[in-house]
């Protein structure tokens, strides 16, 4: 029993020390801007020298796109949805907010601001309640995001692993309409769900953008910086 206690305190001590080293290591200072003015041609050039990029087709429409269906989750509302994107537009109103590389962490950070980005979507919702089958209903949405920032984190500063990038958003105001389709089948419970979505719209948006930010940012990267895959 005594031996066990001694062993236990040694373990606690050594893990305490290791924890301290991890938290306080002097590793956070090395990020810098390879393009001090964040100009698009400079960022593009920097990435194209280091990535496997295909040429751009400059005749393409660059202000809008239609994405593949996206699975959205709004767990705070017992809700999931398949978003079928009709169109995402206003993609010319973008600013590069940041572009840094960190050789020590082998990490690239790229942030973009979107002004008045507009999405038109169809939604196939599933609503979940304990012990019951999900209820399904359809909706249609028209949404404009006044100010949306998406930050992308990519490992591999000399050969960016674009497919494994992580995209994080922050956003402010939204102008929107979301309505049920097929009102003939309207039932009170589902109208109530839609009313809750509207009341908590900013929470819903925060949740669903976890799945949405990626396709939006990928479009901007592939059309302006590096057309990977």
Ligand X SMILES: *[C@@H]1O[C@H](CO)[C@@H](O)[C@H](O)[C@H]1NC(C)=O
Query: Could you give the angle at which helices 188-199 and 201-224 cross, rounded to 10 degrees?
Result: 70
Span from 25-33, 56-64, 144-152, 157-165 in contact with ligand X (CB under 6 A): 144-152
Please state, in angstroms and as integers, the Cα–Cα distance from residue 201 to each residue in 76, 93, 139, 165, 213, following that order: 11, 24, 15, 27, 17
User: 59-98 mask for ligand X (x: CB under 6 A)?
Assistant: ------------------xx--------------x---x-
CB of 218 to ligand X, least distance (A): 19
If one asks whether residue 137 binds ligand X (CB under 6 A), the answer comes out as no
- Among the listed ranges 26-34, 45-53, 56-64, 165-173, the one in contact with ligand X (CB under 6 A) is 165-173
Least distance from ligand X to the Cβ atom of residue 144, Å = 7
Q: Does 113 bind ligand X (CB under 6 A)?
A: yes
Binding of residue 210 to ligand X (CB under 6 A): no
Which is nearer to ligand X, 15 or 172 (by Cβ)? 172
What is the CB-side half-sphere exposure of residue 185 using CA atoms within 13 A?
Answer: 9
Kindly indicate which of the ranges 29-37, 43-51, 58-66, 141-149 contains the residues binding ligand X, using the contact rule CB under 6 A: 141-149
CB of 84 to ligand X, least distance (A): 24
CA gap 191, 189 in Å, rounded:
5
Q: Which stretch binds ligand X (CB under 6 A): 15-23, 80-88, 132-140, 170-178?
A: 170-178
d(C-alpha 91, C-alpha 206), whole Å: 20
For residue 79, the minimal CB distance to ligand X (Å) is 8
| Closer residue to ligand X in complex, CB, 77/162 | 77
- Per CB under 6 A, does 199 bind ligand X? no
Q: How far is it, in rounded angstroms, from Cα 219 to Cα 62? A: 9
What's the burial of 36, exposed, middle or buried (CB within 10 Å: 0-12/13-18/19+)?
Answer: exposed
Long-range contacts of 46-53 (CB under 8 A, 24+ apart): 46/99, 47/160, 47/225, 47/226, 48/225, 48/226, 50/157, 50/158, 50/159, 50/160, 51/159, 51/160, 51/162, 51/226, 51/228, 52/159, 52/228, 53/225, 53/226, 53/227, 53/228
**Pick 25 or 36: Cβ nearer ligand X:** 36
Q: Does 9 bind ligand X (CB under 6 A)?
A: no
Residues that bind ligand X (CB under 6 A): 77-78, 93, 97, 113, 115-116, 129-130, 146-147, 149, 170-172, 196
């Amino acid at each position: 029993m005594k031996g066990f206690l001694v062993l236990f305190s040694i373990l606690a001590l050594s893990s305490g020390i290791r924890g301290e080293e991890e938290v306080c290591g002097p590793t956070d200072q090395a990020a810098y801007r390879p393009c001090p003015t964040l100009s698009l041609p400079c960022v593009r050039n920097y990435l194209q020298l280091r990535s496997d990029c295909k040429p751009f087709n400059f005749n393409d429409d660059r202000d809008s796109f239609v994405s593949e269906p996206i699975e959205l989750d709004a767990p705070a509302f017992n809700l999931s949805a398949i978003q079928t994107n009709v169109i995402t537009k206003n993609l010319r109103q973008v600013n590069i907010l940041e572009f840094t590389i960190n050789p020590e962490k082998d990490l690239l950070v790229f942030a973009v601001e979107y002004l008045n980005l507009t999405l038109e979507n169809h939604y196939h919702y599933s609503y979940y309640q304990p012990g019951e089958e999900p209820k399904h209903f359809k909706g249609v949405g028209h949404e404009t995001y006044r100010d949306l920032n998406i930050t992308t984190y990519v490992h591999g500063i000399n050969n960016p692993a674009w497919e494994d990038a992580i995209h994080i958003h922050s956003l402010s105001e939204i102008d929107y309409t979301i309505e049920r389709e097929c009102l003939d089948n309207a039932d009170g419970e589902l109208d109530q769900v839609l009313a809750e979505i509207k009341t908590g719209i900013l929470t819903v948006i925060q949740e669903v953008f976890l799945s949405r930010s990626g396709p939006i940012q990928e479009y901007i990267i592939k059309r302006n910086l590096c057309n990977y895959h």
